[in-house]
Structure 1
């Protein structure tokens, strides 16, 4: 089964003065069919957050280009991106007056599999058509309270410390890195990577519904527009990466069969 990629990277500054998120998708220059997607939500004062997020993207690009799948595992690559970006962000404190921090979501796609790693409260979703298959776990206070059963999703939306992170890049303690992946890729799979400026305004059901009926670009436009409508006048930066997998041959065959069935029904009605 040959799967085609339909992808989109989209951002909006929201109601903030500066865009401190960074998001990018890039193919490998030597390994055909391999790509990396990375999203980072920077924090830390004027320009400090943007600089931290930029370091995540730069480290992802550099390490991906040097990736040697014959001797490295996907987890090795993903871990190196997050850990080395963390070190670089910490070092910038010595040359700037900011206190830069960033979340990190890094996704590696290659033939037959997807692997990802994340730190912070930017999210990675895996949907199959409109059904959520997997989601990264927020490294935040409210995320931990939900996992402990002390808070529900509705309560998390209004919790006074809902933006407090327990782990991120650039902090004094080493970042927590969680990993995930999928190997049974098929037509209708979608991978959404996004900052909290997007996911905070949606249920899983609404996201799945949008992803299942729209192209990547149309879905990105729809989600960002709704997030902006719901976030004004205090909306955060909004960023997303969307990668959809499509079996073109299977869909064309299904469409031919649908049309043929319709023709047969019309023919029987004439008789």
Structure 2
């Protein structure tokens, strides 16, 4: 039996250039103009030089706005919106590469929350989406990366993957020569107290899932976002990548 408590969605975002010269991450939370309790959150981590990576990330956000504007919650987003978001972003980034003779690429992590509290998650690359029940990890996306393959093969541990010299080598991204995968995860019903967090590797690299869960559960979303950015910057010790996040928590109406 699903929890039918009246609810609201509370969202926050955070973004920081880190110690890089250029900001190539982009993040957005979109609320639906026609359906209350419906939103989309997207993080794009651009790659490909100072302008190429940012163009790629910008294209992901532009595409997200376009496809979500057409979205109707009664549709299955696995058949329409999320597939379109991945495939249209990939196509437009490829066209940008041809037009400007650059090599723009981007990761993506995104989720849609529906008015009935069902949710759908998609990702390409190593931008992650976490689902927490209270402070406890319920699900996270699995990176499309070289070190993730080593973890799956049992050659290294998750902890070793974080410090591996090739930890940033991706096996899939938007804008590459090969078509991107489109793994979609469905959450049947978000409970009051659940949190969805999408973030780039410049953030999650510095936290265990247990730490992330404790922070997003204990603090209000805006304060949690500020805490995550601050701690990531401190732990980077002057060598941090661009970082970005969006989090959405389901709260009971007072």
Q: TM-score, normalising length from structure 1?
A: 0.89
Is 1:173 aligned to 2:178, yes or no? Answer: yes
Is 1:160 aligned to 2:133, yes or no? Answer: no
Is 1:77 aligned to 2:57, yes or no? Answer: no
1:232 deviates by: 2.4
Once superposed, which parts of structure 1, at least 4 consecutive aligned residues long, lie more than 6 Å away?
A: none
**2:50 corresponding residue in structure 1:** 46
1:31 deviates by: 2.4
1:68 deviates by: 3.8
Is 1:101 aligned to 2:99, yes or no? Answer: no
**1:125 corresponding residue in structure 2:** 130
SS in 2 for 1:217: helix
Aligned residue pairs total: 248
Cα RMSD of the aligned pairs, angstroms, is 1.1
* CA–CA distance in structure 1, aligned partners of residues 189 and 72 of structure 2: 23
1:181 deviates by: 2.3
Q: Residues 93-139 of structure 1: CA distance to partner in whole angstroms, max 9, x if unpaired?
A: 12213200000112111122111111010000000111000000000
Structure 1 residues 232 and 98, CA gap change in structure 2 (3 angstroms): farther
Structure possessing the higher radius of gyration over alpha carbons:
1
* CA–CA distance in structure 1, aligned partners of residues 216 and 14 of structure 2: 14
* CA–CA distance in structure 2, aligned partners of residues 154 and 116 of structure 1: 25
8 Å CA contact retained: 2:8, 2:37: no
Residue ranges of structure 2 left out of the alignment (5+ in a row): none
**1:253 corresponding residue in structure 2:** none
Residue ranges of structure 1 left out of the alignment (5+ in a row): 250-271
SS in 2 for 1:46: helix
8 Å CA contact retained: 1:186, 1:247: no
Identify the structure with the greater helix proportion. 1
SS in 1 for 2:50: coil
Partner residue of 2:66 out of 16, 37, 62: 62
Structure 1 residues 69 and 185, CA gap change in structure 2 (3 angstroms): closer
* CA–CA distance in structure 1, aligned partners of residues 211 and 72 of structure 2: 39
Is 1:201 aligned to 2:220, yes or no? Answer: no
1:230 deviates by: 0.7
**1:222 corresponding residue in structure 2:** 227
1:73 deviates by: 1.5
